Amino acid sequence: MFTQTLYLIRHTKPDIAPGTCYGQLDIGLTDSFDAEADRVLRWLPSVELILTSPLQRAHRLAEHLAHAQHCELRSDARLMEKHFGIWEGKAWNDIARDEIDAWAADVMGYAPPGGESAQQLMQRVQSLLRDVAQLPQQNIALVAHGGSIRALLATIGGVPLADTLDWDVGYGAVIGVKVSLC
């Protein structure tokens, strides 16, 4: 049996107004990045590989960690946040009520116009985990986003993604999970 330890890390605080939908919107980070990134580095054990979302708010943290740990860094779009389509960059309060209601009625299947559904997010995360399971490294960090981390945890834990929506995955969180492969 081969066991991998995965460290799921959420990016640090993004530089965007509260109440804004920003899934795959490529935004920067606040001025507190250095302090937050150093805190993540103190919490993160030694890893052999870091996989990251290509969005700059995750990639910048991954670069910081990889440089400090002298390990390989690879970008993987499957770690990106859920794509909210035309909602991206809008205040949540400015999104049409009927669209929000349609999403609430079908959290897994509804895709905002031009975006993706939670089920599609799950499928890409599951694909990523299948590929990670084939890697020889035992300690791997995945730098991602709240939604993709919940999808990873749901997949690993065998729970429905809808049951993870109220799980708090704070900015700069580091979550360690062991995955055993037969």
pLDDT per residue as tens, the chain (182 positions):
679 999 999 999 999 999 999 999 999 999 999 999 999 999 999 999 999 999 999 999 999 999 999 999 999 999 999 999 999 999 999 999 999 999 999 999 999 999 999 999 999 999 999 999 999 999 999 999 999 999 999 999 999 998 998 999 999 999 999 998 65
The two tokens of residue 144 are 């991602």
Q: Which domain holds residue 163?
A: 2-18+29-79+117-181
- Is 89 a domain residue? no
CATH number at residue 38: 3.40.50.1240
- For residue 126, how many other CB atoms are within 10 A of its CB? 14
The answer as to whether 102 is a domain residue is: no
Q: Give the distance, in angstroms, between the CA of residue 16 and the centroid of all CA atoms in the same chain.
A: 17
Domains: count for the chain = 1
Is residue 36 a part of any domain in this protein? Answer: yes
The 3 state secondary structure assigned to the chain is CEEEEEEEEECCCECCCCCECCCCCCCCECCCHHHHHHHHHHHCCCCCEEEECCCHHHHHHHHHHHHHHCCEEEECHHHCCCCCHHHCCCEHHHCCHHHHHHHHHCCCCCCCCCCCCHHHHHHHHHHHHHHHCCCCCCEEEEEECHHHHHHHHHHHHCCCHHHHCCCCCCCCCEEEEEEEEC
Is residue 6 one of the residues assigned to a domain?
yes
The reply to whether 9 falls in a domain is yes
Q: Which residues pair with 139 in a beta bridge?
A: 5
Does this model's pTM top 0.85? My answer is: yes
